[in-house]
Amino acid sequence: DSGVTQTPKHLITATGQRVTLRCSPRSGDLSVYWYQQSLDQGLQFLIQYYNGEERAKGNILERFSAQQFPDLHSELNLSSLELGDSALYFCASSPRTDSPLHFGNGTRLTVT
Amino acid sequence: DAKTTQPTSMDCAEGRAANLPCNHSTISGNEYVYWYRQIHSQGPQYIIHGLKNNETNEMASLIITEDRKSSTLILPHATLRDTAVYYCIVRVNYGGATNKLIFGTGTLLAVQP
């Protein structure tokens, strides 16, 4: 158990809808990272937050947004969903920027 | 961050050592070598990392060549539960800035009974 908690584990929704994925980092970890893993793309970095502020952006679509709250949990919001957004979404956390990342077990999103 | 090259797949007999190679010929002096693995559809799991010295922990050993252009992850006694995709990643550890990991395609290690 990495100590990173992601909810829900599974999510099924229709095209055009909006969903929110939640991540609780390990106790004391200030950084949160979001990754997307689809069958044909591998693990893609989306975005990083550090202590509530956006630190880095990767290949995140404009339809996607994220935030990190004062209690350090993070949410990834996906809107106007398309079939191609079906994927595993992973959250990771680390205490400092020079520490290893520890990943949660992901949320499997299915868009129908 | 420097790119890495890993074999697509490898087999290993259960109980034997698994040696997973990684080439990172363009690595910079301040880049660390990280190893993660992903067991089917689970979150990636941190294994080990190092800069230039060899490292060992309860999971594995990391051997980095003197010129740092390649490394080998060693699982001393592979079990069926070690079947996974293993990712070798190089990354700068700078404080105060992003330390995102960029994953490649990794090596699928299949441990055979």
pLDDT tens-digit series, residues A29-52:
999 999 999 987 789 999 999 999
Per-residue tokens: A78: 């996906």
Pick from A56, A58, A106: CB nearest B43: A106
For B80-100, what is each residue's pLDDT tens digit? 999 999 999 998 766 555 678
What spatial distance separates the first Cα and last Cα of chain B, rounded to whole Å? 37
Measured between beta carbons, the chain A residues lying within 8 angstroms of B103 are 35, 42-43, 45
Question: What's the pLDDT band for B2 if we cut at 50, 70, 90?
Answer: low
CA distance readout (Å), B31 to B38, B40, B53: 22, 28, 13
For B16-42, what is each residue's pLDDT tens digit? 999 999 999 999 888 899 999 999 889
Indicate the burial class of A28 (C-beta count within 10 angstroms; 0-12, 13-18, 19 or more): exposed
Question: Which residue in A40, A89, A93, A97 has the most chain B C-beta atoms within 10 A of its own C-beta, making it the best mutation to test that interface?
Answer: A97
pLDDT (0 to 100) of residue A64: 98
B45 touching A (Cβ < 8 Å): yes
- Answer whether A97 sits within 8 Å of B93, measured CB to CB: yes
- Mean pLDDT of the residues in chain B: 92
- Answer whether A104 sits within 8 Å of B43, measured CB to CB: yes
For residue B87, give the chain A residue with the closest CA.
Answer: A43
Measured between beta carbons, the chain B residues lying within 8 angstroms of A92 are 43-44
Instruction: Tell me the nearest-neighbour CA distance from A90 into chain B, angstroms.
Output: 7
For A1-22, what is each residue's pLDDT tens digit? 889 999 999 999 999 999 999 9
**Where are the extended beta strands (E) located within B40-95?**
45-50, 55-56, 61-64, 70-75, 84-92
The angle subtended at Cα B29 by Cα B61 and Cα A58, nearest 5°, is 85
- Answer whether A97 sits within 8 Å of B94, measured CB to CB: yes
